[in-house]
Structure 1
Amino acid sequence: MSDGTPADLFFDAAIGLLQRVREEEAEAITAAGTLLADTVAAGGRLFAFGAGHSSLAAQDVVYRAGGLALMNLLAVPGVVGVDVTPATLGSALERVDGLASAVLDSSPLRAGDALVVISLSGRNALPVEMAQRARALGVQVIGVTSVAYATQTTSQ
């Protein structure tokens, strides 16, 4: 284990979190992988979405070298994290009610596709409404969030 240096403490914490995810979320991760594979096998398409800081994780899923080439980014201008000034505007847009409907109505997403919605807190209107509206359209939805963080905050 660690000798107490900041770098060692960081690595110990990261390894501990990964072990915890492996132990506590293995079943959910397997189910998500199966859902994605089944979607592709049935001719559906795969999309990832995240707003604000969570957009970086969605972009990583899509653009990662060696990643799943079938994954598409569902980008919303102004909430991609790096495409807006001031940066706080992206956070404000995450809280706009009804924006998800406008985005999905003009997106290529259709019934039979799958959408991975990434939201650290799971509390802002845009990602929550994105998941709800996508499901209503017949899209399979996988949510990625921090349960520990989400339970310490209230929904907006």
Structure 2
Amino acid sequence: MNPSQELRLRTLIRTVSETIIPAIRDDAPLAMEQAGLLVAHLNVLLEQGNREQEVDLFNSAALKALAGELLNLSSGEIALEREREALASALGGDYATLSFATERLLASPAGSFEFKQRSMLEALKYTRKQNQLGRSWFQGTGFDSSPQSLSSVESLLAVGS
């Protein structure tokens, strides 16, 4: 019988917490800090329960939604035709290609002032969504300055789907 992923992570956490950390000398604060980081990240892995694929799907859907909105906003922007065509073509491709095409459209110096304003607002909405999920994803490390303001990963994924 193979031990479950959860059991293995819990065993590692207990070993580091109960055996390794107590054995670290007082004059080794860096080693103590690194051991604490290891325990924090193991706890995060335990909490996340192999949800990477769900997060990847969430991120992909959010980027596709942003790209679609940028295509709508840039309709009629003749100066952006090349960037629009590249973005439309990238919609059927992989995440990295779509991401670069989206960035190229957003970074283009061409386009009307109205497009730039509206597209930046859409980009900020996207960024806030990504930031919220990223902060929630690593909430278990204890590094966030306002963890009480964070939603659970589960609720964010449910809203985003």
* TM-score relative to the length of structure 2: 0.28
Higher RCO by CA contacts (8 Å cutoff, separation 6 or greater): 2
Higher strand proportion, which one?
1
Higher helix proportion, which one?
2
- When Rg is computed on C-alpha atoms for both structures, the one with the higher figure is 2
